[in-house]
Structure 1
Amino acid sequence: MKPILHSRIIIFCMLLSVFSVSAQDKLTYANPSDVGLDSTYIYHNVDSIMTLGIQNRAFPGAQVLVAKDSKIIFHKAYGFQTYDSVQQVGLNDIYDLASVTKITAALPAIMKLVDEGKLGLDKPFSDYWKPWKHVKNKKDLTLREILAHQAGLQPYIVFLSKVFKKNGEIKKRFVKRKAKRGYTNQAYNGLFIKNRFNRKMYRIANRSKVSAIKKYKYSGLTFLMYPELVKQITGKPFDTYLQETFYKPLGASTMGFLPKTKNFTNSIIPTEVDSLFRKELTRGWVHDENAALLGGISGNAGLFATATDLAKIMQMYMNYGVYDGKRYFSEATVKEFTKIQYPENDNRRGLGFDKPSIGNDTLALKDAYPAPEVSAESFGHSGFTGTFIWADPKEKLVYIFLSNRVNPTRKSRGIYTYNIRSAIQEVFYKAKKE
């Protein structure tokens, strides 16, 4: 064979290889039967569970998206945006993701910086977050312990209490009704937070208690700090870094913070009727009060997205860092973050990612988390507003559940009482054709 022809064949094979990877890892659409699942079984059971949830006021409406073998094989919306039944839920609706933000905003940034050697999992977090350097109960805590919720940090601090007087009035030194110099962080319509209020939040968090007993204790405290940390390391604002590094390349056009400011044609699903701070139905602005006090951009909450955009980032994770032919993280980094870190302490968590309960496959649906059938390699996260995302590399399955269960009030617990999210997830594992 002539050398030139041989070289051309090699180049062609390389291009074909790249194309094949792209074709395999980018989401397309198909029917459940195309991936060996029973369509009738799926639609009957999912419809039944969702009807049960809506009738029992677990949520006014919701949607489910499932991808298997890189194919979206189910995407259906149910119910209405609110209980007045005025506007039906649409497939392109944008949701407040709540704590799902942790693994779709804060975590990809942290993973990238670990991948690049700019953060170390087993170095003291105080090496990067300097205020902890001289705090006795925090100076030796590692990023690994913190991300696995093994550090003993305080679970949550209600910073909203700091902006109210004893008589219930808002302190004008922290919150203004109109934007002005030093008050440009918008929490809601007519609510602008002092730009330096984040420093007060950090000081309180820096002085917070740490448990001497090192066992699993969920804490979102440092997720409030990660945006500032990412900015210090990369030199870019947190939201800008995420857009440039992840969301735009992924084609996740709706994923981001402050959707109210972006003129989306998509409808934004409302959350709670807030009688304390915002004094009305919250729509288009983050539900979580701590994220709101940071101007809506945080690592603990504040991200919004559609189901299809969420599916893209979860598909990328499930492919161990690759989507549409582009690599975002090394395979080793993704596998490290998505594995259980402290099983000997009965801690199911990965690094930032949630994992199935230990021994989950031996449990009944009512006791399991999430569905008993998910593999031990699977991972994801839930959100307070009624969101849930999960990826299973062994089964090549991505599961997205989006709802606004906090409408009209966060006291609504039906989504937990009826175990809606896990029950629907289980359907797709039981739908395999014989």
Structure 2
Amino acid sequence: MIRRELSARAFPGAAFLCGTADQTLYTHNYGDLDYTHTVPVTDSTLYDVASCTKVLSTTFVLMRLYDQKKISLERTVGEFLPRFAGTPLTTLTIQELLTHTSGLKPTVVYPDLIKPAHGGKLFNGHRNEQYPYLVDQNLYMVRNVVQDSVYLSGVPRPGYRQIADSLWVNPSVDTIMARKIIRSYDPGRRGRYLYNDTNMYLLRLIAERITGRTLEESTAELFAELGCTDTGYRPLEWTSRERIAPTENDKLLRRGPIQGFVHDELAAVSGGAGGNAGLFSTASDIARFCQMILNNGSYNGRQIITPATIDTFTSSPLSAKGIYRGLGFDKRGTASAFGGPDCCGHTGFTGTIFWIDRSKKLFMVFLSNSIHPTRTNKRLSASQLRLNLWKTLQAAYP
């Protein structure tokens, strides 16, 4: 199945690993880092895991804090983040953020940082000479843009965050993001499920406020306890570019190829270490996390997370309302082959997934860069490859 989609150019390369709580059943690498076919995928190839970061980093750190009784699910944004005190966000709970039932709507920051060079709209519903770049279905971006020099710089500046090979962002962009998040709140949607990245953006800030450390530092400590050496944010700071699968030739904010920098724009302007995205990893490192979950929080003789906390975060506390989401973890209803009360995991926009069945003690990891060279390539989603891999694995181990 993977080779068929590789031939169909759903992705230039991929890594697949499946196993049980105590062993690897099968692992294999496919294809190359890109379509030049010069660098093959290996066991040490790093992928931008995109939204899998929500569990592998942010949720993982919050589980540790929950174990340490430094948070409870009823604690609120206003208790931890003075910036949002007195705003409509102040009473939002950690559980609402983790289950995407906060009433916050998705927000994007890049339209505040760039604008058409000659005026007019940034996007158009039809392709023409002025709007040549397809960025989504029936959505085209203007050819010529100018960057807001207050927030973006093509050269390094003190305190600025690097978000591409030749682009840096002013950290005052955080103020823009805070305003947009506050405006995105819809009280009529509170208590209803609406998946969006801003929930995890706030949870990162909460975790950092409690620990006094960056999310990057806390995540590194947890993965070190798993014996992992190939998982982290901003990989160009600790490994070579040649190990990293490239993602998109970005037509939006970065206007060039992205390799070693996070693809997601919100995580990028957050310094590369977002609560929603930014983590890079290998199939074997993520497999260790999955086995830790399957062993009730234990790995290699060490209790990383308590069994009670594993049970709490992988449950569906809102299932009575028809909301199957776990606490940070993605879960599905029984109508889906991904579904079931003991199944959980997460997918990533870049073409990634890890999925776990706690009752069968079974897991799989699939990593690819399906948005290389463009996010408009929908072949991976259309093929339902990730779902079919899981269905096949489940059928093999009834």
Question: Could you tell me the TM-score, scaled by structure 1's length?
Answer: 0.81
Match 1:141 to one of 77, 81, 92 = 92
Following the alignment from structure 2 to structure 1, what is the Cα–Cα distance between the partners of residues 256 and 364?
Answer: 32
Equivalent position of 1:101 in the other structure: 53
Equivalent position of 1:62 in the other structure: 14
Between the two proteins, the alignment pairs up a number of residues equal to 370
| 1:249 and 2:225 aligned | yes
Equivalent position of 1:189 in the other structure: 165
Q: Which amino acid aligns with 2:388?
A: A
Q: Which runs of 5+ in 1 are unaligned?
A: 1-48, 361-367
From the superposition, tell whether residues 123 and 432 of structure 1 become closer, same or farther in structure 2 (CA, over 3 Å).
closer
Please state how far the C-alpha of 1:260 moved relative to its aligned partner.
Answer: 1.1
Equivalent position of 2:114 in the other structure: 164
Please state how far the C-alpha of 1:318 moved relative to its aligned partner.
Answer: 2.0
8 Å CA contact 1:193–1:294 kept in 2: the answer is no
Identity of aligned residues (%): 30
Please state how far the C-alpha of 1:152 moved relative to its aligned partner.
Answer: 2.1
| 1:88 and 2:40 aligned | yes
Match 2:327 to one of 344, 348, 351 = 351
8 Å CA contact 2:316–2:341 kept in 1: the answer is no
Match 1:228 to one of 190, 195, 205 = 205
Question: Could you tell me the TM-score, scaled by structure 2's length?
Answer: 0.88
8 Å CA contact 2:50–2:279 kept in 1: the answer is yes
SS in 1 for 2:323: coil
CA offset digits 1:142-173 (Å, max 9, x no partner): 2112211122210x211011111342211111
Following the alignment from structure 1 to structure 2, what is the Cα–Cα distance between the partners of residues 336 and 304?
Answer: 26
SS in 1 for 2:354: strand
Match 1:218 to one of 195, 199, 205 = 195
8 Å CA contact 1:82–1:407 kept in 2: the answer is yes
Structure that is richer in strand per residue: 2
Please state how far the C-alpha of 1:265 moved relative to its aligned partner.
Answer: 7.9
| 1:301 and 2:277 aligned | yes
Equivalent position of 1:381 in the other structure: 346
CA offset digits 1:1-20 (Å, max 9, x no partner): xxxxxxxxxxxxxxxxxxxx
Bigger CA drift: 200-209 or 57-66? 200-209
From the superposition, tell whether residues 79 and 403 of structure 1 become closer, same or farther in structure 2 (CA, over 3 Å).
same
Match 2:310 to one of 299, 324, 334 = 334
Bigger CA drift: 316-325 or 305-314? 316-325
Please state how far the C-alpha of 1:115 moved relative to its aligned partner.
Answer: 1.8
Q: Which amino acid aligns with 1:347?
A: I
SS in 2 for 1:425: helix
Equivalent position of 1:427 in the other structure: 392
CA offset digits 1:244-292 (Å, max 9, x no partner): 2x01121111110000121348610011111333232211110101111
Following the alignment from structure 2 to structure 1, what is the Cα–Cα distance between the partners of residues 334 and 248?
Answer: 35
Bigger CA drift: 167-176 or 221-230? 221-230
Q: Which runs of 5+ in 2 are unaligned?
A: 118-144
Following the alignment from structure 1 to structure 2, what is the Cα–Cα distance between the partners of residues 417 and 55?
Answer: 15
Q: Which runs of 4+ in 1 moved over 3 A?
A: none
From the superposition, tell whether residues 201 and 93 of structure 1 become closer, same or farther in structure 2 (CA, over 3 Å).
same
CA offset digits 1:48-84 (Å, max 9, x no partner): x112212222222211101124101211011222233
Please state how far the C-alpha of 1:346 moved relative to its aligned partner.
Answer: 1.5
8 Å CA contact 2:94–2:203 kept in 1: the answer is no
SS in 2 for 1:169: strand
Following the alignment from structure 1 to structure 2, what is the Cα–Cα distance between the partners of residues 143 and 331?
Answer: 20
Please identify the structure whose Cα radius of gyration is greater. Answer: 1
SS in 1 for 2:188: coil
Bigger CA drift: 104-113 or 271-280? 271-280
What's the Cα RMSD here?
1.8
Q: Which amino acid aligns with 1:76?
A: H
Equivalent position of 2:125 in the other structure: none
